[in-house]
Structure 1
Amino acid sequence: MEFETLRIEYAPGTDPGDGIRVLVLNRPEALNAMNTQMFHDMREAVHQLAFEEGLRVLIVRGEGERAFSAGGDLKERKGMSDDTWRRQHQLAEEGLLAIKDFPQPVIAAVEGVAHGGGCELALMCDFIIASREAHFAQPEVKRGIMPGGGGIQNLVRAAGMRRAKQLIFTGDRFSAEEAARWGVVNELVDRGQALSAAIAVARRIVEAAPMSVRYAKLAASRGGEVDFHTGYMFDLAAYNVLVPSHDRLEGVVAFNEKRKPRWTNR
């Protein structure tokens, strides 16, 4: 798959069979700002990757160490008509939701700037690993608009209602250290190490049974949006799909034989 504004590659230091792929936002000259073409490319790339056999973990990063993404390309949006803006935003919505609803785990590896839509893209991932020098912001209210890429809902859920309201109402920038303290970022690493740290986590994920991870993600993502008892029904429905699976049997046998399991994804 080749795209004008994105690059898809095998994670450095891994074998293709490991199933760890990296989606690279590739506009470093613009701090990986997302223009209309990138929204087109993202939607298409993520939809294609969702059906790629053998893919186990997707990592999203920005090209270079200056930025994950500075958000929407405001130079392109200067003078944009309301209709064109809405059409572009529909592409953004579809691409960002495709990341959130991706069937496999998605990790954001954040270096540098993650502002506006860039912050929203990181928040759409299952979790974030960030350089200590990274910084985040939802500055849309300073541009006469508001976060429209899931940033409000995701930040409320990650940082808590009151903290998120302050960040959204002010548009203030917050550091990776603060983001980690508030539960927005999972892990902090030295500058330039976000990708390698994300790959290390991805390697541990791919050691687990593929079906188990996929269904656990589904239950956690959907169950976390509803009340406990309804969410628990998601857990049990997914659990009972796994009970008769070949991999459940293999996991038990491998444990008792003191060897690594040989997963078949069935």
Structure 2
Amino acid sequence: MESTGVRTERPTDGVLLITLDRPRKRNAIDGAMSRAVAAALDDLDADPTLAVGVLTGAGGTFCSGMDLRAFLDGDAPEVPGRGFGGLTQAPPAKPLIAAVEGFALAGGCELVLACDLVVASSEAVFGLPEVGIGLIAGSGGLLRLPHRVPRAVATELALTGDRFSAVDAHGWGLVNRLVDPGSAVSAATELAERIARNAPLALAATKRMLAAADLPVDEAWARQEAELVAIKATGDAQEGARAFAEKRAPRWSGR
């Protein structure tokens, strides 16, 4: 995928690292990058040896948003069914961690918000500045931000378009891990490794239930019951109980 501006690698068992790699463009997203990210996320979900994804940017910047020059040339940065950057409309079924260095602005910030967890350098900067150029954050940013930071804070940030620091984002709960500059990927990979030790089917079901947390109570509990019945019937549930009783590490099959 290198020619598309996206690199993938497996830094450790169970983890797929996806790197936006157009540093001269501050990793601005064009159509080719969006399609490459979507393909990488498809691989993440389809590969039973992978449990967690990490999304980052090369060259000290996470992502500066949409490539405006490419957009003006008719190159849309959305993938049908997947949204901006191949991610924002339909995140993967498996957990995805954003590892943020430098700027995550506009669409770049929306990519971060589409991830499940965020590890950020203490010098990272976020923002949804679209109102300043006559647009709105239309790739899920306005829908997700009020669920990730206090609503009053989200309202101010969205209406002013002001940038905000990783330190503030950590204080509001958007950033899970605040780390030294240059160490976001290593810290995110370490967090991904901790997640990847767990049962893959249980991880996917847990992510689905977290997404259902805002449903009406009766619907949420009904969905939880269905998930629980299904997960109890898996071989991994039996393996987990057996491994616990035998005081050994479980050997997950994904079935």
Question: Shorter-chain TM-score: what band?
Answer: over 0.9
| Residue in structure 1 matched with residue 199 of structure 2 by the alignment | 209
Equivalent residue in structure 2 for 1:253, among 236, 242, 249:
242
| Residue in structure 1 matched with residue 157 of structure 2 by the alignment | 167
Equivalent residue in structure 1 for 2:181, among 169, 191, 207:
191
2:220 counterpart of 1:231: yes
| TM superposition shift of 1:174 | 0.2
2:69 counterpart of 1:75: yes
Change (3 A) 1:257 1:112: same
Equivalent residue in structure 2 for 1:244, among 225, 233, 244:
233
Change (3 A) 1:116 1:261: same
CA deviation vs aligned residue, 1:25-56 (integer Å, no higher than 9, x gap)? 01011111112322232233323432223111
Change (3 A) 1:99 1:3: farther
* Residue aligned with 1:58, SS: strand
Residue ranges of structure 2 left out of the alignment (5+ in a row): none
**C-alpha contact 2:4 2:32 (8 A) present in aligned 1:** yes
**C-alpha contact 2:88 2:110 (8 A) present in aligned 1:** no
2:27 counterpart of 1:36: no
Q: TM-score, normalised by structure 2?
A: 0.92
| TM superposition shift of 1:204 | 1.0
Equivalent residue in structure 2 for 1:158, among 125, 142, 148:
148
Change (3 A) 1:21 1:89: closer
What letter is aligned with 1:167? L
**C-alpha contact 2:38 2:79 (8 A) present in aligned 1:** no
| Residue in structure 1 matched with residue 109 of structure 2 by the alignment | 119
| Residue in structure 2 matched with residue 96 of structure 1 by the alignment | 87
Q: RMSD of the alignment, in Å?
A: 1.9
CA distance in 1, matches of 2:151, 2:23: 33
| TM superposition shift of 1:163 | 1.3
* Residue aligned with 2:139, SS: coil
**C-alpha contact 1:43 1:98 (8 A) present in aligned 2:** no
Residue ranges of structure 1 left out of the alignment (5+ in a row): none
CA distance in 2, matches of 1:99, 1:32: 21
**C-alpha contact 1:209 1:247 (8 A) present in aligned 2:** yes
CA distance in 2, matches of 1:2, 1:240: 42
| TM superposition shift of 1:19 | 1.6
* Residue aligned with 2:251, SS: coil
